[in-house]
Amino acid sequence: MEDSFMSKTQELSLYINTVEVFFKRNFPQLDKDKFWAWFLKMITGREYDINNLANEDMDEILVKLREWEGLLFAPEKDLF
């Protein structure tokens, strides 16, 4: 079996860092933990604790973040 380029944890960390950089720059007053609770509920419809994710939770979150990948890594594109 071939190893993937990044583990789930590494991939999730990349997304987390990308999202945090954007929101910290544009909304510096946001509380990190409250932000992640809101953001994850917005993209998945479920509440998660970003600091305590099970493997199944990571899978679901990564699926949703991959759907947003174009917007996250090319922010000049419109959301709608």
pLDDT tens for each residue of 27-60:
888 888 788 889 999 989 998 888 888 888 999 9
Within-domain flag for 47: yes
Higher-confidence position of 75 and 73: 73
How far is it, in rounded angstroms, from Cα 61 to Cα 48? 9
Within-domain flag for 80: no
Q: Left if phi > 0, otherwise alpha if psi is -120 to 50, otherwise beta: which for 8?
A: alpha
Within-domain flag for 3: no
Within-domain flag for 52: yes
Domains: count for the chain: 1
Q: What percent of the chain has pLDDT over 70?
A: 85
Mean pLDDT, the chain, rounded, equals 83
Within-domain flag for 16: yes
Domain limits at 52? 8-73
